[in-house]
Amino acid sequence: MSTNSLSNLLVYFAIFLSAFNIILFSITLSQSKKQSRVSNIAMALTWLIGTFLAVALILRAVAAQRAPMGNMYEFAVASATAIIFAFLFISIKKDISWLGIFIIVPVIILLGLAVIVLYTESGPLVPALKSSWLLIHVSSAIISYGAFTINFALSILYLLRVKGKLKSLPSPDRIDEFSYKVVLFAFPIWTFAVISGAIWAESAWGRYWGWDPKETWAFITWIIYAAYLHSRVTVGWKGTKAAWVSIFGYAAIVFNFFVINIWVTGLHSYAGV
């Protein structure tokens, strides 16, 4: 079996385990006496999923002899990996197994789209991507995507809690505060991703900013999350209002990744699918 084929196989294993984990994490939302034991199993499987995805990326890098960030398939797998590990690293300090199903579902959707719609054979980078800024810019974007996905899941949970659903979960106020702290972590990294992208653009195309569709939507995303932080500090937007702003911010991320990358022509279209 080739290195690239083994990488693909590990991604399929990760999808299978993620599907099984949806069942386990759904049990952790119940009041079952077996909740704690099932939660431990689900978290252990999540670590295994993360390991499979990380190794899959390493094998992809070996097969392509470059960083595994050269096309949408690789970026999707890397983003799914970042989401998993963002969740796992937080879980080291606090029990957030109740959040698991809301993390695994986006991951399995992203991986499913990666293997069905976005898959591209590994190969050399196109000239525009052959830069030391590739790893810097894309990795910072991926890390922020992982954290923003956590924030999105928390925002959905908050809206469900204030409507009286999922009463076994933490209080709405605790979820809201947790969500805010995640944005505090993710926003500076996203800011760095936008800035590093501008520096790379100057190196590749001779200008820092050209209002390319992807650049524009990256900036729109930045504005939304900046508005989230600003409104929370200055006018006290918390709770439901803050949750909806977070959801709009994540919608901008998803729109930028799928719609802009696939259907809108621009300077960032070279990576293809």
Residue type for 94, please? K
Judged against a pLDDT cut of 60, whether residue 251 lies above it is answered with yes
Judged against a pLDDT cut of 50, whether residue 270 lies above it is answered with no
223 compared with 208, residue with greater pLDDT: 223
* pLDDT tens for each residue of 57-103: 999 999 888 888 888 899 999 999 999 999 999 999 888 989 999 99
35 compared with 93, residue with greater pLDDT: 93
Share of the chain above pLDDT 70, in %: 94
* pLDDT confidence of residue 223: 96
Window from 4-18, 42-56, 113-127, 184-198 with minimum mean pLDDT: 113-127
What 3-state DSSP class applies to 89?
Answer: helix
- CA 181/CA 172 separation, integer angstroms: 14
pTM equals 0.91
Tokens of 269: 């279209």
Q: At CA 261, angle to CA 213 and CA 141, rounded to 5?
A: 85
Q: Indicate the pLDDT class of residue 166, thresholds 50, 70 and 90.
A: confident
CB 29 within 8 A of CB 166: yes
CB atoms within 10 A of CB 118: 22
* pLDDT confidence of residue 271: 47
* pLDDT confidence of residue 253: 94
Residue with tokens 């810097």: 136
> Cα-flanking dihedrals φ and ψ of residue 254, to 5°?
-65, -40
CB 203 within 8 A of CB 151: no
Cβ contacts of 209 within 8 Å, gap of 6 or more: 198, 201, 215
- CA 267/CA 273 separation, integer angstroms: 15
Q: Indicate the pLDDT class of residue 52, thresholds 50, 70 and 90.
A: very high
Mean predicted confidence (pLDDT) in 266-271: 54
* pLDDT confidence of residue 268: 57
Torsional sign, CA 108, 85, 186, 135: negative
